Amino acid sequence: MSVDVLLGLQWGDEGKGKIVDYLADDYDIIARFQGGPNAGHTIVIGDRKHVLHTIPSGVFRKDVINIIGNGVVIDPIVLARELRALQDIGVDTSNILVARKAHLILPTHRFLDAASEASKGKQKIGSTLRGIGPTYMDKTGRNGLRIGDIEKDSFLDRYNSLKEKHIQLGKIYPEVEFNIEEQEKEWFECLDFIKQLEFIDNTYYINQALKEGKKILAEGAQGSMLDIDYGTYPFVTSSNTLTSGVCVGLGLAPQHIGKVFGIFKSYCTRVGSGPFPTELDNEVGEELRKVGAEFGATTGRPRRTGWVDLPQLKYTIMLSGVTHLCVTKLDCLNGFKEIQAATHYKVDGNITDQLPYDLTDADITPQYKTIEGWLEDTDGVSDYDQLPAKAKDYLSFLEEYLGVPVMMISTGPERKSLIIR
Ligand code: GDP
Ligand code: IMO
Ligand code: MG
């Protein structure tokens, strides 16, 4: 048996939550392997919209086990809030398991995130201010606290000592408004609340499940271009968002990786700062934002929008070994007479389909192919044959260029608005 993977191939918000929720019906276990409450995964079931930040998107499927893996960073306040919201509407949360090796986001990590961003002025990352960067810094700096530490007598002393370190460190940054005592009180209350979840050694758990023939899907958060090593550094998040992150984030050997579903929008978005070669800072971009309702699921910020970037997609497909593609938000292009797709870049006068070392200061002009729009309704279409011919042409073009079959096409936020080929 193998572990399948679902990842976002762009800068996030590709529709991972919707597709994982759909696929979860076919799996025994859904596991998050990196990231934290910077993620916002939207799932629409009937007329209800749910946004998950820490909890895997299999939670709405009966009998599916949902694991928050060791590569994830957990803020007890966000997790408790998510649990309460699910419990309030009668969702069974007893199937959520948490890795003891997952690191904890302290209130002072959020304080440091805000302070660090304030110090950067125009160079700020535009982080979600959820404390992600500082928590992963403490993890790699070997100072962090983990879920399993909650069960130890030394926990409070270690918490206080780390908090004090953060307060000292905060002094090198500009002052930001942050009430540590108030946040701390809520944090400890929520820490108690999340103790209702089962804490596990996910390494043995997952490997044993594999041996027993259980079907496992790893759910990515953020997007491939936000990967700490391969993304648009330094405008990235602080974890490995690619397939390689699945192995360290869950405790799996590489040979267990099976199918890799790569998901991308029929156009492209980015939230936060950093390079975005195909960005449309004009009325076309505004129209994409409007039809796609492109506002952050976690922070509510307007997302930057642009055309699909094929060199970028080819790069992230290569890095993650994507075997199946899923195109989302096809319906959002219904109203465009012409659609563009970047096939190459002109970098310092040379045409290439490769990404330069640093997109931030490179002189990049995307080279576009213009595709005729279909100008027909595709909202909610679930049968490939029902798609307009020109929409099929667009999909065939993407598939041919990228060299990987498009197996799923999403045509609306709801579960049922999905074509499986
Ligand atoms: P994630 O972070 O990758 O899970 O994506 P988000 O939930 O942040 O953003 C995707 C947004 O697009 C959500 O509001 C979804 O409900 C919505 N969405 C997903 N697929 C489709 C689709 O095919 N069409 C439309 N119109 N909306 C979609
Ligand atoms: P999902 O899983 C879109 C972006 C932030 C910022 C950068 C670093 O919903 O796709 P961080 O808080 O991680 O230190 O911020 O990464 N970012 C996301 N953008 N979707 C996400 O998650 C994101 N998670 C982080 O906007 O630019
Ligand atoms: Mg999102």
Helix H or strand E encompassing 368:
strand 364-372
Query: Does residue 410 carry a pLDDT above 90?
Result: yes
How far is residue 41's CA from residue 297's CA, in Å, rounded to a whole number? 7
Kindly give, in sequence order, each residue whose CB lies less than 8 Å from that of residue 283, ignoring residues fewer than 6 positions away.
none
The preferred substitution site among 237, 241, 273, 303 for testing ligand 2, maximizing ligand atoms within 8 Å of CB, is: 237
Query: What pLDDT was estimated at residue 299?
Result: 87
For helices 107-120 and 132-140, the axis angle rounded to 10 degrees is 110
Question: Is the shortest distance between the CB of 14 and ligand 1 below 6 Å?
Answer: yes
Mean pLDDT of 362-373: 96
Query: What's the pTM?
Result: 0.97
* Fold adopted by 103-194: Adenylosuccinate Synthetase, subunit A; domain 2 (1.10.300)
Query: What pLDDT was estimated at residue 219?
Result: 98
How far is residue 364's CA from residue 49's CA, in Å, rounded to a whole number? 38
Query: What pLDDT was estimated at residue 49?
Result: 96
Average pLDDT in the chain: 97
Residue whose CA is closest, atom 13 of ligand 1? 42
Query: What pLDDT was estimated at residue 163?
Result: 98
> Is 377 assigned a catalytic role?
no
The preferred substitution site among 38, 113, 136 for testing ligand 2, maximizing ligand atoms within 8 Å of CB, is: 38
For residue 122, what pLDDT band results from cuts at 50, 70 and 90? confident
Residue the block writes with tokens 């000292």:
168
Mean pLDDT of 213-231: 98
Q: Looking at domain 3-99+198-261, which of 3.90.550.10, 3.40.440.10, 3.40.50.300, 3.10.150.10 is its CATH number?
A: 3.40.440.10
Query: What pLDDT was estimated at residue 1?
Result: 82
Task: Calculate how far, in angstroms, residue 13's C-alpha sits from the geometric centre of ligand 3.
Answer: 4
Query: Does residue 209 carry a pLDDT above 90?
Result: yes
Mean pLDDT of 293-317: 95
Question: Is the shortest distance between the CB of 410 and ligand 1 below 6 Å?
Answer: yes
The preferred substitution site among 6, 13, 34, 222 for testing ligand 1, maximizing ligand atoms within 8 Å of CB, is: 13
Domain segments of the chain as ranges:
3-99+198-261, 103-194, 264-420
Q: How do the residues of the chain divide into helix, strand and coil, expressed in percent and rounded to 5?
A: 35, 25, 40
Residue whose CA is closest, atom 25 of ligand 1? 412
Question: Is the shortest distance between the CB of 16 and ligand 1 below 6 Å?
Answer: yes
How far is residue 189's CA from residue 300's CA, in Å, rounded to a whole number? 26
Angle at 194 between CA 190 and CA 197, to 5 degrees: 175
Question: Quick one: which atom of ligand 2 is closest to the CA of 223?
Answer: 10
Query: Does residue 361 carry a pLDDT above 90?
Result: no
Give pLDDT tens digits for 140-152: 999 999 999 999 9
Mean pLDDT of 247-272: 97
What are the Cα distances from residue 236, in Å, to 223, 307, 309?
9, 20, 18
Lowest-confidence segment of 201-215, 325-339, 349-363 by average pLDDT: 349-363
Phi-psi region of 159 (alpha: psi -120 to 50; beta: other; left: phi over 0): alpha
Q: Which member of 13, 21, 113, 309 is catalytic?
A: 13
What are the Cα distances from residue 261, in Å, to 173, 344, 406?
41, 24, 10
Task: Calculate how far, in angstroms, residue 283's C-alpha sits from the geometric centre of ligand 1.
Answer: 21
Task: Calculate how far, in angstroms, residue 43's C-alpha sits from the geometric centre of ligand 1.
Answer: 8
Protein residues with C-beta less than 5 angstroms from the ion ligand 3: 13, 40, 297
Task: Calculate how far, in angstroms, residue 275's C-alpha sits from the geometric centre of ligand 3.
Answer: 19
Give pLDDT tens digits for 164-175: 999 999 999 999
Q: For domain 264-420, which architecture applies?
A: Alpha-Beta Complex (3.90)
For residue 258, what pLDDT band results from cuts at 50, 70 and 90? very high
User: Do 264-420 and 103-194 fall under one CATH topology?
Assistant: no
Give pLDDT tens digits for 25-84: 999 999 999 999 999 999 999 999 999 999 999 999 999 999 999 999 999 999 999 999
> Is 103 assigned a catalytic role?
no
Question: Quick one: which atom of ligand 1 is closest to the CA of 17?
Answer: 4
